[in-house]
Structure 1
Amino acid sequence: MSPDAPLGRGPRVRAAVLAAAIDELSTHGYAGFTVDNVAQRAGVHKTTVYRRWPNRDDLITDALADSVATEIPIPDTGSIDEDLRELARSLVTWISSPPGRAVIAVMLPTAAGQPRPPDPTRHVFRDRIRRALPVVARAVERGELAPDTDPAELIKTLVAPIYLRVLITGEPVGDKTADAAAALALTAARAGLFGRST
């Protein structure tokens, strides 16, 4: 198939449209996001987009979920120390990239009178926390963490310092930030602060 051939309806068109949606968010933000522009960027007709995503919020939510899932893989190194460090570093790398900045821009509060991002975008982040829970469960099975460790609380504590700097204080983030967040979460877990009964 030549590079100029139509994308069709399969996985290639889905990937092209989702990538174009992230590019559109990066360029125009949520308020300026249009399906027409996404279709043009992806090289498809807008009816192709609407066939899969009935409205722009469905498309945005799917694009965000795809970006997060692709760029922040769930590690399984056999060590909770390494798993948390890799998870935090992947988050920092992604959050500093154009797709990550686009996602964060959607999540930020909008000015008065501007369109509000769809609530389902928040589910993207809740789903990512849910998908990371096995990292903690495996550590419990290996005896690295106490059996009553609450996986969700540990993962939230891991990502919180990173999002604080990006969303609240506007500080730069890097590997040092990621490593400190991982060490903080692990220290708290080993101190029993995430016990389900506490």
Structure 2
Amino acid sequence: MTSNPLSALPIAGAFVAQSSPKEDARGSFMRLFCANDFGEAHGARQIVQINWSHTVTAGTVRGLHFQQGAEADAKWVRCVEGRVWDVIVDLRPASATFMKWHAVELSAANCRAVFIPEGCAHGFQSLEPDSRLLYLHTAFHNPAAERGVAFNDPQLAIGWPREVTLLSERDRALPTVQALFG
């Protein structure tokens, strides 16, 4: 039974999955991940790490982050509480969608998950306070492989939907794509 149909996104190899909760008098049940249902996107990759983030303030931006080299990871991201504007940036020079970005609204209410392939940066802006995200990663976190690009890089020209109210010092110091790739 396919409970999470996939739709390709405008970024090569990126997908959105739409889940369908089953509800009855007790409440609801929803499959968050199934390799059978997500196979077109996920392939034979293994989930090796699951992370959780809680963003307190609406307008906060986290990202744009990725891991490079042998530690590059693909990830599934799902909002389990609140609402976020989730951004994928293709940083794979050989990709047909190199330097393109695409955003998907994720919320607990819309039951979507987004698949971000290896070599793409990921970030989001919280649209509601107390937004919580669940991340399923195909590679372990390796601080030596961490990279990122500035959320406000003029070359990317991401149109964030809200004023940025909070940004970490780490994210504030991220380089532009030009500085990263030359």
Instruction: Give the TM-score, by structure 1 length.
Output: 0.28
Which structure dedicates a bigger proportion of its chain to strand?
2
Which structure dedicates a bigger proportion of its chain to helix?
1
Which fold has the larger relative contact order, with Cα–Cα distance below 8 Å and residues 6 or more apart in sequence?
2
